């Protein structure tokens, strides 16, 4: 009979990863610690080591106890952590019984010992309510810096079983972040083990892959995600674009057969801001994004006049790129205007839904275009002057404890919003393929 193949092929663990795996064992000089913080660069091997060690520790230390494993959302935790964790545990001989409806997993070791691991999402202030009432013997937070402090405080407060510990893992953010100020800066008095990771602590990462990630980021994102530093966001946001816009500007539009699809984003003006529309073309294979058309006006327009401008813009895009328009995303703040746009298109024989923009975190949108520009996968037509100016002039707000794009009317945020709305549903796919 042939041998069953291993479910997960382990690479050699680095010194930092071995510290994560062994800190709680009986011969460890730091086994008395109340928990562990592993923070630093992306792709540095933190999550693999932390999630595996958390479960092995729980199974070696407790029986019939509850544990919490937390991500920004349950879906992101399942995708980024649990998928790989289940493979690793099965490869090490553990049996798993997953209860998806209740969001928990039973883990059973070779001796029949069993513990229960509940999955929670810490996406907003209301998330703390979901974890109330449970008694825990330990909690693991993946990407803790993305969670609200109230959720983390509620979860750690549920760890009342003797010998319970806290496990935190994250990438750096603003030095004024609550987790940096209240936990990392107080590791000694909180009796926590603190480990800083770089990409060199992940021995499974080839040098060419490290170089690819280094090329993806500039400015504050490079300092945080690659160097693993807690630094403030300061100055120009899109440094590469601001320093040399000409490397991104093109005079000839992409040919029709090279375009996978086009998508339109629209941001409403008012109170001094502009109405802005942007049409982005995504090339075949999602290898490049090209801004091909823009609309920008600060005129005081009635809803009917704005509908006419919107219709003209959509017609311009569909006439230049026939059969390529797949999505229209508009600011969700004004539903009456959105419905008016929808009706205007239908009246004129354009059967395309006008959808609400997702309007995810602004910094996720900034990171997307910063990465595209760093990878030289973004271009913009020369006639789209307003968006060029917007990328060039965008700056971080000064002296903030959070990362905020300056939005005081001194720069063109409207074109940036419209540009981001048009591609937000495709961020993940575009970046995944652009990295290859």
Q: Which pTM was predicted?
A: 0.83
Q: What is the mean pLDDT of residues 34-63?
A: 98
Return the pLDDT at 270: 78
User: Residue 58 — very low, low, confident or very high, per pLDDT cuts 50/70/90?
Assistant: very high
Return the pLDDT at 435: 67
Measuring CA to CA, how many Å separate 359 from each of 22, 23, 169, 206, 339?
Answer: 42, 41, 26, 35, 18
Q: How many residues does the chain have?
A: 436
- Give per-residue pLDDT as tens, 71-99: 999 999 999 999 999 999 999 999 999 99
- Give per-residue pLDDT as tens, 336-356: 999 999 999 999 999 999 999
Measuring CA to CA, how many Å separate 373 from each of 234, 296, 370, 390?
Answer: 18, 23, 5, 14
Does the pLDDT of residue 399 top 60, yes or no?
yes
Q: What is the mean pLDDT of residues 103-120?
A: 97
User: Residue 415 — very low, low, confident or very high, per pLDDT cuts 50/70/90?
Assistant: very high
Measuring CA to CA, how many Å separate 10 from each of 2, 42, 86, 142?
Answer: 21, 19, 13, 20
Distance CA 312, CA 132 (A): 53
Q: What is the mean pLDDT of residues 235-239?
A: 94
Whole-number average pLDDT of the chain: 94
Measuring CA to CA, how many Å separate 40 from each of 74, 87, 197, 198, 312?
Answer: 23, 25, 5, 6, 48
Instruction: Tell me the Cα Rg of the chain.
Output: 25
Strand-pairing partners, residue 66, are 116
Question: CB 287: neighbour CB atoms within 10 A?
Answer: 15
Domains of the chain: 15-226 (3.40.50.300), 239-434 (3.30.420.280)
Strand spans (E) along 298-390: 325-330, 355-356, 378-381
- Give per-residue pLDDT as tens, 269-311: 877 799 999 999 999 999 999 999 999 999 999 999 999 999 9
Q: Which tokens sit at 346?
A: 């239908």
385-393 and 413-423 helices, crossing angle to 10°: 100
Measuring CA to CA, how many Å separate 138 from each of 101, 148, 263, 325?
Answer: 22, 19, 46, 50
Strand spans (E) along 110-191: 114-121, 138-142, 165-170
Q: What is the mean pLDDT of residues 397-406?
A: 83
Residue 243 class from Cβ within 10 Å (0-12 exposed, 13-18 middle, 19+ buried)?
A: exposed
335-347 and 303-320 helices, crossing angle to 10°: 50
Return the pLDDT at 108: 98
Q: What is the mean pLDDT of residues 118-147?
A: 94
Does the pLDDT of residue 407 top 50, yes or no?
yes
Residue 374 class from Cβ within 10 Å (0-12 exposed, 13-18 middle, 19+ buried)?
A: buried
- Give per-residue pLDDT as tens, 192-233: 999 999 999 999 999 999 999 999 999 999 999 999 999 999
User: Residue 122 — very low, low, confident or very high, per pLDDT cuts 50/70/90?
Assistant: very high
Rounded (to 5) percent helix, strand, coil in the chain: 40, 20, 35
Identify the helix (H) or strand (E) that includes residue 23.
none
Residue 246 class from Cβ within 10 Å (0-12 exposed, 13-18 middle, 19+ buried)?
A: exposed
Return the pLDDT at 5: 47
User: Residue 1 — very low, low, confident or very high, per pLDDT cuts 50/70/90?
Assistant: very low
Q: What is the mean pLDDT of residues 119-134?
A: 90
Return the pLDDT at 2: 45
């Amino acid at each position: 009979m042939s041998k069953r193949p291993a479910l997960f092929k382990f690479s050699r663990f680095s010194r930092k990863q071995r510290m994560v795996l062994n800190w709680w064992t009986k011969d460890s000089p730091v086994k008395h610690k109340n928990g562990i913080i592993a923070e630093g660069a992306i792709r540095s091997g933190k999550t693999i080591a932390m999630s595996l060690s958390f479960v092995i520790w729980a199974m070696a230390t407790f029986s019939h106890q509850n544990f919490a494993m937390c991500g920004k959302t349950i879906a992101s935790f399942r995708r980024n952590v649990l998928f790989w964790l289940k493979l690793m545990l099965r490869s090490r001989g553990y049996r798993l019984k997953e209860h998806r409806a209740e969001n928990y997993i039973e883990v059973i070791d070779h001796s029949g010992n069993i513990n229960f691991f509940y999955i929670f999402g810490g996406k907003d202030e209301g998330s703390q309510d979901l974890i109330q009432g449970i008694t825990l013997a330990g909690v693991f937070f993946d990407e803790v810096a993305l969670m609200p402090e109230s959720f983390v405080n509620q979860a750690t407060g549920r760890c009342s079983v003797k010998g319970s510990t806290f496990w935190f893992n994250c990438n750096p953010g603003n030095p004024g972040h609550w987790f940096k100020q209240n936990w990392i800066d107080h590791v000694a008095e909180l009796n926590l083990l603190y480990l800083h990771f770089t990409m060199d602590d992940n021995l499974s990462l080839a040098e060419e892959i490290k170089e690819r990630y280094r090329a993806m980021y500039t400015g504050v994102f490079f300092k945080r995600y690659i160097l693993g530093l807690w630094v403030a966001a300061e100055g120009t946001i899109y440094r590469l674009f601001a320093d040399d816009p000409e490397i991104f500007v093109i005079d000839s539009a992409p040919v029709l057969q090279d375009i996978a699809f086009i998508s339109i984003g629209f941001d409403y003006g008012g109170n001094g801001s502009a109405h802005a529309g942007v049409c982005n073309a995504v090339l075949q294979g999602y290898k490049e994004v090209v801004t091909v058309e823009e609309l920008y006006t600060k005129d005081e327009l009635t809803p009917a006049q704005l509908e006419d401008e919107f219709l003209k813009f959509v017609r311009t895009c569909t006439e230049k790129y026939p059969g390529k328009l797949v999505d229209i995303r508009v600011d969700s703040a004004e539903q009456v205007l959105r419905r008016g746009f929808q009706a205007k298109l239908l009246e004129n024989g354009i059967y395309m839904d006008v959808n609400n923009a997702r309007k995810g975190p602004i910094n996720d949108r900034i990171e997307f275009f910063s990465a595209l520009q760093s990878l030289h996968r973004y271009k913009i037509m020369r006639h789209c002057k307003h968006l060029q100016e917007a990328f060039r002039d965008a700056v971080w707000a000064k002296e903030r404890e959070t990362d905020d794009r300056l939005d005081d009317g001194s720069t063109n945020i409207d074109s940036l919003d419209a540009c981001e709305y048009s591609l937000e549903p495709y961020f993940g796919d575009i970046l995944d393929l652009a990295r290859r």
